[in-house]
Amino acid sequence: MSDKPGHYCGVAGMALTIDAVPFLRKSLRVIQHRGQESAGIAVFNGRVRSVRGMGLVHEVLTPHALSNIHGTSGIGHVRYSTTGSSCAENVAPIVVTTAQGEVALAHNGDIVNAVKVRQKLQAEGWAFLTTTDSEIIVRIMANELSQNPDPVRAIKNTMKIIDGAYALTLMFNNRVFGVRDPLGFRPLCVGRLQDGYCLASESAVFDVLQGEFLRDVLPGEIVEITSTGMLSHSVPALPSKAHCMFEWVYFARPDSVIDGVEVYLARKRLGRILAEEQPVDADVVIPVPDSGRAHAMGYSEVSGIPYDEGFMKNRYVERTFIMPEPIARDEGVMLKLNPIKSTLKGKRVVIVDDSIVRGTTMRRIVHMARRAGAKEVHVRIGCPPVKAPCYYGIDMKTREQFAATNRSVEEIARLITADSVGYTSISGLVKALGMQECDLCMACLTGEYPTHVTGEMMRFQKKLDV
């Protein structure tokens, strides 16, 4: 990992009166940022057929690969592995055959009790073909369907067994469903197109498809879409939610709206609050492109320090957070960004970004700014310090990897060789998102988790169980 948390996955679903394949492909390209390891679609045309593979959407879903696959109902998936290794066997959507028909599933998130459930099922004689928690979900679904052919009942019973973060698109024969976990960790929304209805991880999909964003799928809700409408089923509501704050801080596209909050405006508000909480005397505010741009604009507006571009981004190299070796990551940073010397030379610079996880990339960026002639380099971060692992679908698994672990802000500044470092506070983050603190998952900031995780403290818990 580099400074950025690893993305998890993105899902889509279609129920149309015309061929869904081109719409699924375009939807996945819109949410490609959520996963760059693999891509796939599954559609129904008398039976479920799928095209899946390792690589980006345009590399996997080629015109040749899609030439013989058609259907008006379908689901799609882009993947960044968090549970389960990165290999062809784990590519989604996963498709299984039951006595009642075929089930296809695409999953965004992590099931925290996956190991326990897998071990229990294996002890009962179940065999698994992949190492993903997605297969656990679809196998439980298949078992439920063998006892009762009602897919809604099967989904509800499955939700009683699995625990954690999940936004699902499911296809049972030609019926398409969207499912969101009861705490609403992962985003999922529904929209209307000219020729039917659509599910997607982000609302920007509907904009690109020239459709209409209708609403978010509610936490704990099961939505069935058809070519003419949508049906809603829900499990009992919980008193609080756990929307992942990283969606607004970093993961989602700026032009998406998630749970009623536009991502771009949330990031600008984070930058404004950051300027109020962490002021500094400087000559220019520059973003780390592209993730820090909206934050930097907000910081500039409130601080009165002029905004300018300080780094040129090469968009045709690999994302550094998926590179396996530190040397490759460092080289990737150098290939990805190049300083604009006229912006930096002789200036007191404020570099603004959304988050720091490990600190490796930011240290490289600070070095670039100094080599380009920056007189002072101050770093300002829109997200509070990341200190604890995520068990809900972000690739941040160990405390040792975090720059903020057992370090003061001054020590973090020395680690990345900056003149100073400043973070938005947790209260500032909550204010910027405009949501109740109890409805946000901030476990990676606080170490308090919305669900039971062995060895970790639960939210609202007075002390850790021994």
Q: Do the domain assignments include residue 390?
A: yes
Residues 6+ apart with CB under 8 A from 356: 3, 362, 379, 381, 383, 385, 386, 403, 404, 412, 416
Q: Which residue has the tokens 């970004």?
A: 353
Provide the domain count of the chain.
2
Considering the domain boundaries, does residue 342 fall inside one?
A: yes
Enumerate the active-site residues. 9
**276 belongs to a structural domain:** yes
What phi, psi does 341 have (nearest 5°)? Answer: -65, -35
- For 13-49, the pLDDT digits (tens) are 999 999 999 999 999 999 999 998 999 999 999 999 9
| Domain end marker among 183, 217, 244 | 244
Structure tokens at 19: 């061929």
CA distance 32 to 225: 23
Let me know if residue 255 belongs to a domain: no
Calpha distance 34→252 (Å, rounded): 8
Based on the fold, state whether residues 67 and 212 are members of the same structural domain: yes
Report the predicted TM-score, pTM, of the whole model to 2 decimal places. Answer: 0.90
Residue 361 maps to a domain: yes
pLDDT at 324: 43
The answer on 365 and 277 residing in a single domain is yes
**Which residues partner with 44 through β-bridges?**
48, 73
- Does one domain contain both 81 and 123? yes
185 and 308 together in one domain: no
Domain of 18?
9-244
Are 166 and 280 in the same domain? Answer: no
Dihedral angle of Cα 451, 452, 456, 458, to the nearest 10 degrees = 50
CATH code, domain carrying 112:
3.60.20.10
Q: Are residues 202 and 293 in the same domain?
A: no
Using one digit for the tens of pLDDT, what is the confidence trace for 347-386? 999 999 999 999 999 999 999 999 999 999 999 999 999 9
- Residue 4 in any domain: the answer is no
Domain boundary among 217, 244, 271: 244
Contact between residue 252 and residue 263 where contact means Cβ atoms under 8 Å apart: yes
Residues 276 and 227 placed together within one structural domain of the fold: no
Q: Indicate the helix (H) or strand (E) that contains 214.
A: strand 212-216
CATH number of the domain that residue 334 is part of: 3.40.50.2020
CA-to-CA dists, residue 29 to 18, 251, 320, angstroms? 20, 15, 20
Question: 380 vs 39, 292, 366, CA distance in Å?
Answer: 35, 10, 12
- Report the distance separating Cα 62 and Cα 67, nearest Å: 8
Residue 211 resides in a domain: yes
> Within this chain, do residues 38 and 157 fall inside the same structural domain, yes or no?
yes
Within a domain: 187:
yes
Residue 225 shares a structural domain with residue 271: no
Q: Same structural domain for residues 272 and 345?
A: yes
**Dist CA 434 CA 367 (whole Å):** 36
Model pLDDT for residues 205-262, shown as the tens digit of each residue: 999 999 999 999 999 999 999 999 999 998 787 889 999 999 999 999 999 999 999 9
Q: Are residues 270 and 239 in the same domain?
A: no
Asked whether residue 34 falls in the same domain as residue 167, the answer is yes
Assign residue 375 a region (left: φ > 0; alpha: ψ between -120 and 50; beta: otherwise).
alpha
